[in-house]
Amino acid sequence: MGKATARNPKESALRSLPIRRFVRKFTPLRPTLAVLFLGGVALVSPASLAGQQATDADVTGISVQSSPQVFAVMCALGAAGYQVDESLLAQMPARRALRADLLKMQGPATDALRQFYQDHALADPGDTLSRYMTFAIVAGPPPDFNLPQNQELLPPDVVALDGFQEVLANFYREARLGSRWTWVAPEYEPALESYRGALRQIVTVSDAYLREIVKPNGRRTFTVYVEPLVGARTNFRNYGDQYSIVVGATADMPVDAIQHAYLHFVLDPLVLRNRPLIYKKRALLTVAARAPRLPVEYDNDFISFVDECLIKSVELRLRNLSGAQLEAALRENDQSGFILVRPLVAQLRLFEKAGPAMSYYFADLISGIDVDAEQKRFQGFAFPPAGTGPAPQQHENSEAVLASDLDRSLAEGNRQLQQKDVTAAAETFERILAKYPNDTRAMYGLAIASVVSGHGDQAKELFERITTASSDAESASVDPQILAWSHVYLGRIDDLQDQRDLAVSEYRAALGVDDGPADARAAAQGGIEAAYKAPAHHPDDGSEEPSQ
């Protein structure tokens, strides 16, 4: 969810990770949020409100684990110069010795790693760490760290680290991290046990309040990954149905951050299932968007906005604040643009007196929000400026404003694609094209949505518009990656229609795109060597996703 225009077609088509991403430092009083993911080791968590417990992650999908992938990535970052707090390793002599060894590492793979890290470092170390943690969560196990076959669905953070998989695999072998992992793994256990106890408490309290029992379905997972070297930064992501938070082994456990992430895991599906009802209240987003402090990702995403307000509301009710404390928190949320927290807290008070579980009460919760009353409440309300600086200028260049609006709309559509909400994504890209009919990024996003939903004819027409636009003088700036992948998809469509000669022609055109990405070139070369065949249909998904 960002303002920047995507430059990579995969990033353009899938701009942001599923629902959201947080990367912050936490404090002892209000730890914060942040990152995500899958993996596997041991887990313990409540299986029901009655206090029954499971010791198998496969039973509940809720776990606390260490991760060889996260470990390997943090070792690589350490060897490349990423600064960590050495005091975090005070009780972990094996890890401390390993870190010292990695800093002295020499070799071709290590040199390549350090150069890659230098070339991809961001101004904020937290943002840099976030990218690599996303990679660690998405990547497969060592030694190869294979990424998902369907590269179109890779998160933008992973796309930005194009080439890191090979760099990491080579470093993993040169540094012999496989044997080193075996050596240090036992030192994780005390921290894992502490987090398991904390997670049990979070799940028990949250589920009891919501009167919900998380039912395992084999697909949805919530994982807390413990990695000492991430320090006081937590990273949260949800990648489809897989929710993860990566935390450090610090003295001040980020309980608030884990609870926030877990509430997303429980409540996100309710919000998504009730989108038509929620949309009836979307006039309130216009009010919220006036707040300079409101994160830009919510400006055009009312569903995510309601989702975040709901979770903030539940957190406030779980904290058992005094009247004065609650009012101060509600006032802060109003000033920050999260204007639905107050009415949702009022509705939660009614929920607490009712009997049904949240999944049955949710419609009443949303219906209880009075749009007219909330609009009236904010008439003349002066939202404070962002940070400590002056309020945003009101006379921005109109062209810059239009570009910002376009980027936000593209980000919304790409986020919806990432969430597999193909219908909403298609509607978003269609709205963009109605206003900007020649924007090839919107064409590409709508084409991908058409591919996923099985509308091959529409997808073909859109891809052809992109390739045709590349030859027009007015559209000479078509992103080479979008152009290359458009040719690849046209070739695949031709293959599926038994038009092999046309398909090969498109694959050759993809290879001829200047500065085309390596993955598109590889896909094109594969298409020349063998006709493309449709992937197997997933029994749990009504659409066939494009694969590369």
* pLDDT per residue as tens digits for the range 250-283: 767 889 999 999 999 999 999 999 999 999 999 9
Tell me the pLDDT tens digit for each residue of 281-340: 999 999 999 999 999 889 889 999 999 999 999 999 998 888 888 999 999 999 999 999
β pairing state of 53-54 and 45-46:
antiparallel
Q: Is the pLDDT score of 393 beyond 80?
A: no
Q: What is the pLDDT of residue 99?
A: 80
10 Å CB burial of residue 268 (0-12, 13-18, 19+) is buried
368 C-beta neighbours (distance < 10 Å), count: 14
Paired tokens of 59:
């039973």
CA pair distance 453, 95, nearest whole angstrom: 48
Q: Is the pLDDT score of 8 beyond 70?
A: no
DSSP β-bridge partners for residue 63:
223
Paired tokens of 462:
């859109």
Q: What is the pLDDT of residue 453?
A: 85
Q: Give the total residue count for the chain.
A: 548
Segment 31-51 mean pLDDT: 25
Q: What is the pLDDT of residue 217?
A: 65
Please measure the distance between the N-terminal and C-terminal CA atoms of the chain and give it in whole angstroms.
24
Q: How far is CA 279 from CA 303, 435, 542, in A?
A: 8, 22, 24
Q: How confident is the model at residue 539 (pLDDT cuts 50, 70, 90)?
A: very low
Q: What is the pLDDT of residue 477?
A: 64
Which residues have CB under 8 Å from 199's CB, separation 6+?
A: 44, 45, 62, 64, 224, 258, 262
Q: Is the pLDDT score of 17 beyond 80?
A: no
Q: What is the pLDDT of residue 174?
A: 95
Tell me the pLDDT tens digit for each residue of 469-523: 766 544 446 778 788 889 999 999 999 999 999 999 999 998 988 767 777 788 8
Q: How far is CA 518 from CA 8, 113, 146, in A?
A: 12, 19, 16
Q: 392-405 burial by CB neighbour count: b if 16+ within 10 A, else e?
A: eeeeeeeeeeeeee
β pairing state of 221-226 and 242-247:
parallel
Q: How confident is the model at residue 425 (pLDDT cuts 50, 70, 90)?
A: confident
Tell me the pLDDT tens digit for each residue of 342-387: 999 999 999 998 889 999 999 999 999 999 999 999 998 999 987 6
CA pair distance 290, 203, nearest whole angstrom: 35
Q: Can you list the domains of the chain with their CATH numbers?
A: 31-256 (no CATH), 274-369 (no CATH), 419-529 (1.25.40.10)
Q: What is the pLDDT of residue 72?
A: 95
Q: Is the pLDDT score of 392 beyond 80?
A: no
C-alpha dihedral, 349 to 352 to 353 to 357, nearest 10°: 130
Residue whose entry in the numeric block shows the structure tokens 């610090």: 250
Paired tokens of 468:
């045709």
Task: Name, of 47-61, 211-225, 438-452, the range with top average pLDDT.
Answer: 438-452
Q: What is the pLDDT of residue 287?
A: 95
CA-based torsion, 358, 361, 366, 368: positive or negative: negative
C-alpha dihedral, 405 to 407 to 408 to 411, nearest 10°: 160
Segment 197-206 mean pLDDT: 92
CA-based torsion, 158, 139, 77, 186: positive or negative: positive
19 C-beta neighbours (distance < 10 Å), count: 23
Omega into 143 within 30° of 0, i.e. cis?
A: yes
Phi, psi of 391 (to 5 degrees): -65, 150
Q: What is the pLDDT of residue 211?
A: 92
Q: What is the pLDDT of residue 279?
A: 94
Task: Name, of 41-55, 229-243, 363-377, 456-470, the range with top average pLDDT.
Answer: 363-377
Q: What is the pLDDT of residue 221?
A: 92
Say if residues 223 and 38 touch (Cβ distance below 8 Å). yes
CA pair distance 467, 506, nearest whole angstrom: 10
Paired tokens of 460:
């073909």
Which residues have CB under 8 Å from 380's CB, separation 6+?
A: none
The kind and range of the H/E element at 65 are strand 62-65
Q: Is the pLDDT score of 23 beyond 80?
A: no
Say if residues 350 and 368 touch (Cβ distance below 8 Å). yes
Q: What is the pLDDT of residue 303?
A: 94
CA pair distance 230, 370, nearest whole angstrom: 43
CA angle, 442 then 2 then 469, to 5°: 20
Q: What is the pLDDT of residue 340?
A: 97
DSSP β-bridge partners for residue 221:
242
Phi, psi of 119 (to 5 degrees): -70, -25
Q: Is the pLDDT score of 22 beyond 50?
A: no
CA pair distance 476, 313, nearest whole angstrom: 49
Q: What is the pLDDT of residue 387?
A: 62
Which range (3-7, 108-112, 140-144, 504-508) has the least confidence?
A: 3-7
10 Å CB burial of residue 446 (0-12, 13-18, 19+) is buried
SS3 call for 25 = strand
The CA R_g of the chain, rounded to the nearest whole Å, is 24
Q: Is the pLDDT score of 15 beyond 50?
A: no
